[in-house]
Structure 1
Amino acid sequence: MSASKHIVVVGAGLIGLSCALGLRQRGCRVTLVEQGSRPEVTAEPGLRVSALNHASRTLLQELGVWQQLPLQRLGPYTGMQVWENNSFADIAFHAEQIGTDDLGAIVENQVLEQALWDAAEQAGVTIIANTKVQQWQQDHQGATLQLADQQLQGDYVIAADGVRSQLRSWAELPVTFWDYEQRGLVAVIASELPHQGVARQAFLPTGPLALLPLADPHLCSMVWSCDEDLAQELLQLQQTQPEQFQRRLQVASNGILGNLTVDSAVASFPLQMQYAQQWVHERLILVGDAAHSIHPLAGQGANLGFADVAVLIEAFTATEQRQLNRALQAYQRERKAAALTMIAAMEAFKRGFGTSQPLLQLLRGVGFTLANKTPPLKRWLTKVALGEV
């Protein structure tokens, strides 16, 4: 039945591209609508990266894309270190503890997006670039999308158009939302000491700081989450007194990588949480950030989206309409539950580490020490991070 279905995917980010490619490989006729153009890869590392776990990598391997990524732009990490600056809380994970070569890989979004775009074109996905959807309507049999110069008819429309999904808004699907009143600062950081393939995250009183290892042993991707006022102060500092910004960053990271130098522009984005209360509505299906977005402190946003894709493209292998309807409802139940679980976990982490009360600091330290010294618990936590639980 999939071969007879025309699926229109709106949004050509990581999730929309992988969804379009996966559906095409399963025999669907797929049109991808994107308001931008084919992504270009710069010679320098990009500011936007994703920490992909094993489950996401497996999906990309099945799509035939992972094998096409240039090794010199991949940053496999074999360890993770998490600590709290104002207490003795510290925990470390290593790939060898669970018998794997690595715990995942840091991938530049621009590199992966270009590889997915090219693979989708080669697979026969019709890509309509530099075009916005201007109007949309649906009924129980299909959907119509009005573009600037043409009209598309689809059996299903997949909204992969991001956090501010226009399709979700037009469908009037309710969204639960809250603003953390924080910003994430991102930049490429050059370090005096090699990162040794370890992803590091420090919990500060003002928010978490992540240093994610890139392919170059002396380059990391920084994600520094902090309140709006501090974020603006740091951005201003980087513009007027960059050496002071670098000093603040070095102190925040406990000097774990020695002297740090900002090797790119510093950008920022607002930190918000949201999830749609309905993911499947007649012939509209939400996926990725259009369905959910979470705090970046654990780097699980892209992995959640790729997990959506894996379940959704499998649903379209159904051989008859009634079976497909059931599969799409199962997609909604399974992936919505997974997203809500991750949102709850991230909120617990944020609240748990967002206070400097001495008793809670002590409890966090005891908890980290217990986990660090309990191999079965540590292995389980590692497998959760890898998407294997």
Structure 2
Amino acid sequence: MRRQQADIVIVGAGMIGLSLACLLAKAGRQVTVLERHSQPQLSDELALRVSALNNRSRQVLRDCGAWPLIDDYRIGPYTSMEVWDKDSPAHIEFSAAEINQDDLGAIAENNVVEHFLWQQALQLGVDIQQVDEWKLLNEGDADSLVEIKVGDDLVFASLLVGADGGRSLVRQWSELPVTFWDYEQQGIVANIKTEQPHGGVARQIFLPTGPLALLPTPDAHTVSIVWSADTALAEQLLHESAERFAKHVETESQRVLGGCKCVSDIKAFPLRMQYARQWQHGRIVLAGDAAHTIHPLAGQGANLGFADVRALAQHLDTRDLKSLVELNKALSKYSRERRADTQLMIAGMEAFKRGFGTANPLVKGMRAIAFAIPNKLTPLKRRLAQLAM
């Protein structure tokens, strides 16, 4: 049995785990990453799972050295956003030009981001271990390190980071409490060929059964859709042909891009809000979806995760990780800062979800007024565009 030593062990080699590993390695930390899967490979076909990355998230990726590679390979920048309500006159649009920027964000394929982050992590000396299972033997305290059994080996670390998604094993092993509720919706994803070019516009239509997003890809006539559909409708859509599904997208989007054709598989995943009431315990801390998952209607899940990465890396900085007192100071500051931001985002998403998920005439009228005001007031529209970034 080998005994391995690391400053920090990160479980999960997704976008959040790998970007954190890169930043910590650049700060001189010895980092080990545990992941079940191998490095995602690049493909000529557009992937189904994408993220809308704002400027702060892209800056994290720049600091990791990965964004120039991602940018050169394939992204879908969007220069404006258009949001409307199918059942009322509510409509708003704003552009990067209104705040003198080149774009508001970029749509990136998750596997492309992960591929180049993995590449950068290896170049920075991160030890990425592909393992089927691991076991937490000791959570560590003031006198001992975290002890993890990985296959036949033992790995010791001053800090264990759970960046292993919504079903985080780190969170389960450390018994950190979770609050959650089911949105009773499924997120349906597919790539759709459109008759008219998307023009670099990110579009979202609020439907009575859930929001439908049309996100621009590098192909001028292809959009990546995320349809957060009520479970009954989702089940119906998933059992229909690709042709029928594309027709539904075309109709529900009010033919904003003309005729539609499905050019990919159609996949779905259940939607639920999940929030860890406690983000850290001793030498263990959570980041990304392991700490929080939110409704995808505003596309902020990945951005919240990258904000976690930035904050955690900054708070750890030059701390003496072996000192539990010093470590707890850093982790407490991190969790307080990020929990406040996350709670605000969860509340906002819940308000949107409930506000647009009703056919109540009074609420519909209020929605129309709420959208009309910023669409006419340039200063407020400018502020919304800044927030979108």
Give the secondary structure class of the aligned counterpart of 2:239: helix
User: Percent identity among equivalent residues?
Assistant: 50
Give the secondary structure class of the aligned counterpart of 1:246: helix
- Whichever residue aligns with residue 72 of structure 2, its letter is L
- Alignment-derived partner of residue 367 in structure 1: 370
Cα offset, 1:70, TM superposition: 4.7
Cα offset, 1:182, TM superposition: 0.7
CA gap 1:72/1:10 in 2 versus in 1, 3 angstroms = closer
- Whichever residue aligns with residue 315 of structure 2, its letter is A
Q: Is residue 172 from structure 1 mapped to residue 179 from structure 2 by the alignment?
A: no
The one of 154, 157, 170 equivalent to 1:154 is 157
Cα offset, 1:260, TM superposition: 0.7
The one of 170, 176, 190 equivalent to 1:187 is 190
Cα offset, 1:319, TM superposition: 4.0
Give the secondary structure class of the aligned counterpart of 1:82: strand
Contact preservation (8 Å) 2:6, 2:156: no
Q: Is residue 118 from structure 1 mapped to residue 114 from structure 2 by the alignment?
A: no
1:265-304 superposed matches below 5 A: 265-304=265-304
Q: Is residue 199 from structure 1 mapped to residue 202 from structure 2 by the alignment?
A: yes
Give the secondary structure class of the aligned counterpart of 1:360: helix
Contact preservation (8 Å) 1:178, 1:272: yes
RMSD: 1.3
- Whichever residue aligns with residue 49 of structure 1, its letter is V
In structure 1, how many angstroms separate the alpha carbons of the residues matched to 2:388 and 2:348? 12
Give the secondary structure class of the aligned counterpart of 2:139: strand
Cα offset, 1:383, TM superposition: 1.7
- Alignment-derived partner of residue 33 in structure 2: 32
Instruction: Choose 117-126 or 56-65, whichever is displaced more.
Output: 56-65
In structure 2, how many angstroms separate the alpha carbons of the residues matched to 1:7 and 1:295? 30
Gaps of 5+ in 1: none
TM-score by length of 2: 0.95
Contact preservation (8 Å) 1:318, 1:324: no
Contact preservation (8 Å) 2:32, 2:126: yes
Give the secondary structure class of the aligned counterpart of 1:62: helix
- Alignment-derived partner of residue 22 in structure 2: 21
The number of equivalent residue pairs is 380
Cα displacement string for residues 240-267 of structure 1 (whole angstroms, at most 9, x for unaligned residues): xx32222111111010000011110000
- Alignment-derived partner of residue 51 in structure 2: 50
In structure 2, how many angstroms separate the alpha carbons of the residues matched to 1:351 and 1:137? 43
Cα offset, 1:148, TM superposition: 1.7
- Alignment-derived partner of residue 256 in structure 1: 256
Cα displacement string for residues 131-161 of structure 1 (whole angstroms, at most 9, x for unaligned residues): 3213442121421111122111111000001
- Alignment-derived partner of residue 334 in structure 1: 337
- Alignment-derived partner of residue 98 in structure 1: 99
Give the secondary structure class of the aligned counterpart of 1:314: helix
Cα displacement string for residues 194-247 of structure 1 (whole angstroms, at most 9, x for unaligned residues): 000000000000000001000111111100011111101001113xxx322221
In structure 1, how many angstroms separate the alpha carbons of the residues matched to 2:72 and 2:256? 26
In structure 2, how many angstroms separate the alpha carbons of the residues matched to 1:44 and 1:51? 18
Cα displacement string for residues 298-351 of structure 1 (whole angstroms, at most 9, x for unaligned residues): 000000000000010112213444544322211000001111100000000000
Cα displacement string for residues 55-107 of structure 1 (whole angstroms, at most 9, x for unaligned residues): 10111111111011253511010000000011100000100111100000000
Contact preservation (8 Å) 1:72, 1:215: no
- Alignment-derived partner of residue 75 in structure 1: 76
Cα displacement string for residues 22-74 of structure 1 (whole angstroms, at most 9, x for unaligned residues): 11010100000001111112210000000000110111111111011253511
Cα offset, 1:358, TM superposition: 1.1
In structure 2, how many angstroms separate the alpha carbons of the residues matched to 1:58 and 1:136? 36
Q: Is residue 351 from structure 1 mapped to residue 354 from structure 2 by the alignment?
A: yes
- Whichever residue aligns with residue 116 of structure 1, its letter is L
Contact preservation (8 Å) 1:33, 1:132: no
Give the secondary structure class of the aligned counterpart of 2:240: helix
TM-score by length of 1: 0.95
Instruction: Choose 255-264 or 374-383, whichever is displaced more.
Output: 374-383
Cα offset, 1:353, TM superposition: 0.3
Gaps of 5+ in 2: none
Give the secondary structure class of the aligned counterpart of 1:237: coil
- Alignment-derived partner of residue 325 in structure 1: 328
In structure 1, how many angstroms separate the alpha carbons of the residues matched to 2:6 and 2:40? 28
Cα offset, 1:280, TM superposition: 1.2
